[in-house]
Amino acid sequence: MTDRAIRVALVDDQALMRAGFRALLEAEDCIEVVGEASDGERGLELIRAHVPDIALIDVQMPVMTGIEATRHIAADPALSAVRVVILTNYGHDEYVFEALRAGASGFLLKDTEPADLLQAIEVVARGEALLSPAVTRTLIGEFVSRPPDRATAPGLECLTRREREVTALAARGLTNEEIAEHMVISPFTAKTHISRAMTKLGARDRAQLVVFAYESGLVAPRSADPAASG
């Protein structure tokens, strides 16, 4: 991290929710709230005007949903540095799955503890994916309960054997340190494999790599995946 403040945009149709997040974030010297918006369309205008580091976006809003806004952000080269964190009321929210497909870097429950929210901002600002520990297993359960979409997923042939292995481990929620321990390599080497896999697949971040792993069938449902029980 640099000494520059992390710039955050707030997009939520509930004024009280925005006020609460703003008060919490502005109390931190290392975070700057660049503005807020009450729907996805205005949020997109705000983000295009300020190009923040992080956009906290509600999943369900009038005029334009958080998922639609996320798609626009992910498709705009001028916003390639913006990381979207989707806000949701429920860990099993079906829209979270689509938000990750659309290009979100992760998601948070709206009742997340203040300390966890601040840590999440720092995690995403570092370029890492945020899959909230409280709901990650539910999300993965959604992935593995559906057949892999091999027709739309990038081909596995572009990845080396090591890159496939680290991608599969990342999809199961392992950190670089845990991947390194599992594969008996250094954390730096694990990070390098992850970065190369992301580059080859055109993944914006680690969250997109997870989406690829499940949609391509690289990671199988738990009941059919011997490694998942290990």
- DSSP letters spanning 47-96: HHHH--SEEEEESS-SSS-HHHHHHHHHH-GGGTT-EEEEEES-TT-HHH
45-59, 88-102, 176-190: least confidently modelled range = 88-102
Q: Which residue has better confidence, 109 or 15? A: 15
Q: Which residue has better confidence, 181 or 143? A: 181
Strand-strand pairing, 106-109 and 83-88:
parallel
Mean per-residue pLDDT over the chain, rounded: 80
User: How many Å from the N-terminal Cα to the C-terminal Cα in the chain?
Assistant: 35
For the four alpha carbons of 120, 123, 128 and 133, in that order, the dihedral sign comes to negative
- Tell the residue number behind the tokens 């697949």, with chain if given: 201
- Nearest 5 degrees, angle CA 114-CA 119-CA 120? 95
Q: Which of 143-147, 172-176, 198-202 has the highest mean pLDDT?
A: 198-202
Of 225, 216, 218, the C-alpha closest to 161 is 218
Q: What's the DSSP call for residue 149?
A: -
pLDDT category, 112, cuts 50, 70, 90? confident
pLDDT per residue as tens digits for the range 130-170? 655 444 555 655 655 555 555 455 567 888 999 999 988 88
Q: Which residue has better confidence, 131 or 210? A: 210
- Decide: residue 229, CB within 10 A, 0-12 exposed, 13-18 middle, 19+ buried: exposed
